[in-house]
Amino acid sequence: MLRPSESPGLTAPRSSAGTAEPAGRPWPNGRGAWLGQIVYPVALVLSLLAAWEGVVRVFSLPRYILPAPSLVALTLWEKWPVFAAHTWVTVQEVAAGGALGIAVGLCLALAMFFFAPLEKAFYPLLITSQNVPVFAIAPLLVVWFGYGFLPKVLMAAIIVFFPITVATLDGLKRTDPDLVRLFRTMGASPAQILWKLRLPAAMPALFSGLKISAIYSTIGAVIGEWVGAGAGLGYLMLSANAQLRVAEVFGAILCLTPIGLTLLGAVVLAERVLLPWQRLAAREDEPLEPHP
Amino acid sequence: MKAVSRASALEVEGLHKSYSLRTGVLSVLEDVSFAVAPGEFVALLGPSGSGKSTLLNILAGLERPGRGTVRIGGSAAGLPLIAYMQQKDLLLPWRTLWDNVLLAPEIRSAAERERAAEKAREWLKAFHLFEFRHAYPAQLSGGMRQRAALIRTLLCEREILLLDEPFGAVDALTRRRLQRHLLRVWETLDKTVILVTHDVEEAILLATRIVLLSSRPGRIVESIDVLPPHSVRPQSAETFRLKSRILETLEQSDAAAL
Ligand SMILES: Nc1ncnc2c1ncn2[C@@H]1O[C@H](COP(=O)(O)OP(=O)(O)OP(=O)(O)O)[C@@H](O)[C@H]1O
Ligand SMILES: [Mg+2]
């Protein structure tokens, strides 16, 4: 409603400004770079798999020590309903735990930001708590909450909330004080300063936290399942391992990794959509970060 | 020349400001007193580090004076009367140009933002930024960002404009055009302007009065009434004499400080 309808001639005026780009490489992040990002890792993985297959066949290793990739693939193919069922259980745990962890992390960061005493009280505890191995907490959660869904969700949340809290708090604190003063001269209320300034300014930091959390989110759920569960990929790994069905262990790992990667992909995508200005900033010679 | 008959728009008396650093106390402003009448256009000239930005910060209510009083519009609390454009452009990197310039009306209310849209369009066009209104600050040059910051300041709709080197990052030609725009704003909207600049000619061309600040600690060395903006002929001998006199005064105060 406020935006005039004509589309801006953005690219034209900018290129006419005559910034000299090296010939043949118009954009450092062009399609060539994209292709490389896919081709090289895929080539590496394929050659590793080939080597693995070769080693297993040449030395005829028994399948309960190291199954060949082809056997892992075959197992996945034959037992896919089992894998799918267990994957679904873990996905649910990760999703619920992730959502809880993000919510708690955000609230904690905001609370610590706005009440300095709370930060002073909580921060050392928060750091120390991360030194306690999650493996030590998992059995306690089983004691308190049983073998069901809840302890796994809590485990995932415990892993997820920490990077979110630390990153968001950091982002909130790094808001350029000059920008805060600008808002004050404009008569902005504290709520407006939060919504229009501090939170948007903290977004890049929040997304850094989210990326770390996305990668680690499955770990919490799997540990929760190891300690006591009747379903889920962690349970599957443990029981298959106990029966020396090593191909199934590898199958479970193969089912697990895409969960974290998908989450990471979702975070990266969300960042691109929600913070388009950030990628522009990254391309600039001078950083666009609110002036330090 | 506008008469200083009405009550002052802004009055500073016996202002001192110092910062305590680890190495000792740094005195930045010393016994600064001056008054600005409503509708005046004052240029603040002084060497780098003489405390010009500090003075504006104090006027805008962002910093406390060490000693002395600041009165704005007859009362001590001056914030709602002042729009302040700082030396850095301070655009929000996550907002497009359009959303950046409309920040102040938006903070007042959604209806105000709606109402200000027409004016924003007009200013963006006048400042040759309209086709860039959907661009983010990172996509703009330093001069473009500075112009956007100036538009945002104008859209604050305050009586007194504090402008800290608004044309520092633009070329001579653009600078001329922007100066003319600023003059038009000042004349048509009847604003009071305090402009910090390093450019003596700019001060002569724009201001009705030039206040010279010594090098640190900043004291007011001289306050010179100049011809109203449109009667100044940039190439005239008179302008040239004024220019060299100002430069001389600044040099002398600099030498005295050493
Ligand atoms: N927050 C601060 N803490 C300590 N010293 C400061 C602070 N702000 C400014 N100063 C000092 O005060 C002096 C005057 O600074 P100020 O920014 O007002 O100068 P200026 O006249 O605006 O200079 P320029 O023309 O280069 O912008 C400088 O020496 C600076 O180091
Ligand atoms: Mg300055």
What pLDDT, on a 0 to 100 scale, did the predictor assign at position A32? Answer: 65
What residues pair up with B17 in beta bridges, in sequence order? B29
pLDDT higher at A19 or B12? B12
Q: Which residue of A has its CA nearest to B86?
A: A182
Contact A210, A267 (CB under 8 A): yes
- Determine the atom of ligand 1 nearest the C-alpha atom of B56: 18
List of chain B residues whose C-beta atoms are within 8 Å of the C-beta of residue A187: 79-80, 107-108
Which residue's structure tokens are 């200083």?
Answer: B4
| Residue A262 to residue B211: CA distance in whole angstroms | 63
What residues pair up with A261 in beta bridges, in sequence order? none
What pLDDT, on a 0 to 100 scale, did the predictor assign at position A48? Answer: 94
List of chain B residues whose C-beta atoms are within 8 Å of the C-beta of residue A289: 93
Strand order in the sheet with B209-213: B82-85, B160-164, B192-197, B41-45, B209-213, B220-225
pLDDT higher at B229 or B205? B205
State whether A179 and B131 contact (CB < 8 Å). no
Contact B147, B99 (CB under 8 A): no
State whether A187 and B108 contact (CB < 8 Å). yes
Q: Which amino acid is at B60?
A: A
| Residue A209 to residue A168: CA distance in whole angstroms | 7
Buried b (16+ CB within 10 A) or exposed e, A130-157: eeeebeebbeebbeebeeebbbbbbbbb
Read off the pLDDT of each residue in B28-49 and give the average, rounded to a whole number: 89
List of chain B residues whose C-beta atoms are within 8 Å of the C-beta of residue A4: 121, 133
Which residue's structure tokens are 């309903």?
Answer: A81
Instruction: Give the distance, in angstroms, between the CA of residue B188 and the centroid of all CA atoms in the same chain.
Output: 18
Express each pLDDT in B75-126 by its tens digit.
654 457 889 998 888 999 999 999 999 999 999 999 999 999 999 999 899 8
What pLDDT, on a 0 to 100 scale, did the predictor assign at position A244? Answer: 85
Contact A138, A155 (CB under 8 A): yes
Express each pLDDT in B138-178 by its tens digit.
988 888 898 899 999 999 988 899 999 988 877 888 888 88
Residue identifier of the C-alpha nearest atom 2 of ligand 1: B19
pLDDT > 90 fraction of chain B, expressed in percent and rounded: 29
State the distance between the two ends of chain B, measured CA to CA, in whole angstroms.
36
State whether B82 and A185 contact (CB < 8 Å). yes
What residues pair up with B225 in beta bridges, in sequence order? B209
With a cut of 50, list the residues of chain A below it in pLDDT.
1-27, 285-292
Contact B13, B72 (CB under 8 A): no
Query: Which of B94, B150, B155 to mutate to probe the A interface, most A CBs <10 Å?
Result: B94
User: Which tokens go with A115?
Assistant: 């009440």
State whether A8 and B135 contact (CB < 8 Å). yes
pLDDT > 70 fraction of chain B, expressed in percent and rounded: 91
- Could you say which of B93, B98, B104 has the minimum Cβ distance to residue A186? B104
For every residue of B102-119, DSSP letters joined together read THHHHHH-HHHHHHHHHH
Read off the pLDDT of each residue in B57-85 and give the average, rounded to a whole number: 80
Residue B14 CA: distances (Å) to CA of A234, B9, B35, B51? 74, 17, 11, 15
What's the pTM? 0.79
- Could you say which of A13, A182, A288 has the minimum Cβ distance to residue B131? A13
- Determine the atom of ligand 1 nearest the C-alpha atom of B52: 21
| Residue B15 to residue B155: CA distance in whole angstroms | 30
Please tell me whether residue A198 adopts helix, strand or coil conformation. Answer: helix
Q: What is the biggest distance separating any 2 CA atoms in chain A, rounded to whole angstroms? A: 76
What pLDDT, on a 0 to 100 scale, did the predictor assign at position B6? Answer: 52
Measure in Å the smallest separation between the Cα of B161 and chain A Cα atoms: 12
Name B129's Cβ contacts closer than 8 Å, sequence gap at least 6.
B97, B144, B147, B148, B151
State whether B156 and A186 contact (CB < 8 Å). yes
| Residue B233 to residue B210: CA distance in whole angstroms | 17
Cα-flanking dihedrals φ and ψ of residue B180, to 5°? Answer: -65, -40
